[in-house]
Amino acid sequence: MVRNVLKRQLESEITRVLRLVKHRFGLRLREDVLFGVVDGYVVSISCFVEGVAGNTIMLRAMLKPMVLDDVFWDVFDMSSNCRGPLSLRVYGAFTVGALPVAMSRRQVDSVDQVAVFIEETVSDMMRDLRGLVARLGSLEEYARYADRVAHGRRLYPFDSALTWMLIDIIRGGFAQARERAMLELANHRSGNMVNGNRNIYEYVVDYCRAHEAQYGGSEQGRVISLQRLVGYHEAHYGSECFEQVLRVVPEIARQFGVGYYQNILFQQVGQYWVVLTINVRADTADGDQLSVFGLIKPVVGDDVLWHVFGHDEFRDVAVMRCDDALSTFPLVFFGRDMSVDESGGREQYLYHVLSELVDQWVAQSREYVLLVDGVADFIDLAQQSVVAIIEDEQVRESRFRSNRMFNPDLHYMLLDLSNGEYAKARQRAHALLEQGKTGFSIAGSESYARIEEYCVAHER
C-alpha cells in the first residue's frame, strides 16, 4: 500500500518536472514523453516508473529520421499522415520504429530525488542525441549505426529490414527494396504492422513492383524527393505556426502570380529558376522562428541533367526543379530570419509579413538576374560566392552551407553539354573522377561517371 502511494507521488512529480524541463530544451511533452526535431531526426525521451516496488524511475532516449515515416506512409497507403502533428511520429501505431539509443534507471525513496535526476539525465541525453545526429551524415549511416547497436538483437520497435527497404526506395532502388521484402517473407518474417489483410513487407513488394513498372528498375528508378515528402527538415510538422504558413501560401502565390507547393514558392525569370522556401523553427527559446530563403539556378542545368539520366519528363513538373534529389542545387541569394511574436498565431499577421517578404523576393530575383550576363557568368559569380542581400550571421552561415552544395563543376559540364561541347564536358568529368570526385549518387549511378559515359556515346 505504501509503495503504491509512492508510485503515484512519483508519477505526479515526473509530470511536473517534465513540464518545466521541456521549455529548457525546446521540446514538446505528451503523456510523460518529451519529443522534438533535431536536424531532420525525431528525438524522444520517455520517463516512467517501473518495477514491482514502484520506486524505480526510468528514462529512455530514441531517435529516427523523419523522412522514413513519410516514405513508410506513402508505401502503406497512409500518405495523409505526413500532414499530421509531430506527436503522430512518436505515438502513432503505424509509424517506423525508432532506435533506442540510451537508457537510465534510478531507485528513489522520495519525490525530492526526482527533479535533479530527471533534469541531469535529460540534459545528458539531449547532448548525446544532438551529437549523434551530427555524426550521422546520411540515412545509410543511420541504418548501419543502428545495426551495430543491435548486434543482431531485437531492439523493439526498431525494424532493421524495413529501415533498409525504405532507404532503398528513397534512393530509387525499387528492385533492391522488393528483393529485401521478399527475402523476409520467404523466411516467415512479416514485420510489425498489418493494414487490411496485408503486412508491411507485402505492401513494400506491391509498391516497388508498381514503381518498377512505371519508372523502370533500380538503375532507372524514380527518385523520391525527400524534401518534397517532408517539407524542410527545419520545419516542425504539427506546429501551429507552420500549419498557418501552409494555409496562407496559396493566397500569396495567387497575389504575386507565382507557383507554389506546400511551403515553397517558385517562378522562372529569364534563364533562371528562382525559389522561395518558408521554414518554421518551433518552440525555440525566442518562440517561433520564421526563416525565408530565396534560391536561384539556371533552367538549362536541370533540363540537361534530366536528359542525361533519362528523365526528360521531369521538365514539365515545376516542383521537381525546386527540391528534388535529382536536380541541380541552387544558390542562396536572399534571406531573412525573424522571430514570430505571439501575434504570429494569427494568419492575417503571417499573411502580411510573408507578403512583404515575397514582394522583396520577386523584385530582388529580377535584380539578381540583371546582374549576370548569361549562364557562364552566373556560375563564375556563384563560384566566387558573389551573392547579394544576405542580412545577418545566421543567414550568412546558411548561405555558406548552400554554396558548398552548389556545384560549379557540375553546372559547367551541363552548360558544355547544352552547347554540344561533349569532349569538353567529358574532359571535365574525367579529370574530377581522376581526383576521386564522383558527384552525387542516385539510383546506383554516380553523376560524373554518367556524364562521361553520355559524352562518349554522343561523341561517336
Query: What was the pLDDT predicted at 341?
Result: 62
Listed in sequence order, the residues at least 6 apart from 22 whose beta carbon sits closer than 8 Å to its beta carbon are: 28, 29, 34
| Confidence check: pLDDT of 88 > 50 | yes
Query: What was the pLDDT predicted at 203?
Result: 93
Query: What was the pLDDT predicted at 107?
Result: 87
Query: What was the pLDDT predicted at 149?
Result: 85
Query: Cell triple for residue 64?
Result: 529516427
pLDDT in tens, 235-256: 444 467 777 887 888 889 889 9
CA distances from 401 to 85, 171, 407 (A): 29, 23, 12
Higher pLDDT, 460 or 134: 134
Query: What was the pLDDT predicted at 271?
Result: 87
| Confidence check: pLDDT of 314 > 80 | no
% of the chain exceeding 90 in pLDDT: 17
**Average pLDDT score over residue span 129-136:** 88
Query: What was the pLDDT predicted at 387?
Result: 41
Query: What was the pLDDT predicted at 441?
Result: 53
Query: Cell triple for residue 267?
Result: 517562378
Query: What was the pLDDT predicted at 31?
Result: 83
pLDDT in tens, 143-202: 989 988 877 677 778 899 999 999 888 877 888 899 999 988 888 888 888 877 889 999
Q: Which of 41-45, 52-56, 361-365, 387-391 has the lowest mean pLDDT?
A: 387-391
Query: Cell triple for residue 323?
Result: 527540391
Query: What was the pLDDT predicted at 346?
Result: 66
Query: What was the pLDDT predicted at 232?
Result: 38
CB 229 within 8 A of CB 71: yes
Question: What does the alpha-carbon distance between residue 443 and residue 218 come to, in Å, rounded to a whole number?
Answer: 6
Question: What does the alpha-carbon distance between residue 62 and residue 42 come to, in Å, rounded to a whole number?
Answer: 8
At 92 the three-state DSSP class reads coil
Is residue 49 exposed (0-12), middle (13-18) or buried (19+ Cβ within 10 Å)?
A: buried
Q: What amino acid is encoded at 270 in this protein? A: G
Query: What was the pLDDT predicted at 117?
Result: 93
| Mean residue pLDDT across the chain | 79
pLDDT band at 128 (very low <50, low <70, confident <90, very high): very high
Q: Which of 83-87, 227-231, 319-323 has the lowest mean pLDDT?
A: 227-231
With cell 525573424, the residue in question is 338
| Confidence check: pLDDT of 388 > 70 | no
Q: Which of 142-151, 287-296, 348-357 has the lowest mean pLDDT?
A: 287-296
Query: Cell triple for residue 87?
Result: 506527436
| Confidence check: pLDDT of 120 > 90 | yes
pLDDT in tens, 354-382: 898 899 889 888 888 888 888 888 887 77
Question: What does the alpha-carbon distance between residue 287 and residue 216 come to, in Å, rounded to a whole number?
Answer: 46
**Average pLDDT score over residue span 318-347:** 67
**Average pLDDT score over residue span 126-150:** 87
Question: What does the alpha-carbon distance between residue 19 and residue 171 come to, in Å, rounded to a whole number?
Answer: 40
Query: What was the pLDDT predicted at 24?
Result: 83
Higher pLDDT, 171 or 43: 43
pLDDT band at 281 (very low <50, low <70, confident <90, very high): low
| Confidence check: pLDDT of 123 > 80 | yes
pLDDT in tens, 400-438: 344 445 778 888 899 989 999 999 989 988 998 888 777
Nearest to 300 by CA among 331, 333, 272: 272
Kindly state the helix (H) or strand (E) to which residue 268 belongs, with its residue range: strand 264-269
Strand extents, DSSP E, 399-443: 441-442
| Confidence check: pLDDT of 266 > 70 | yes
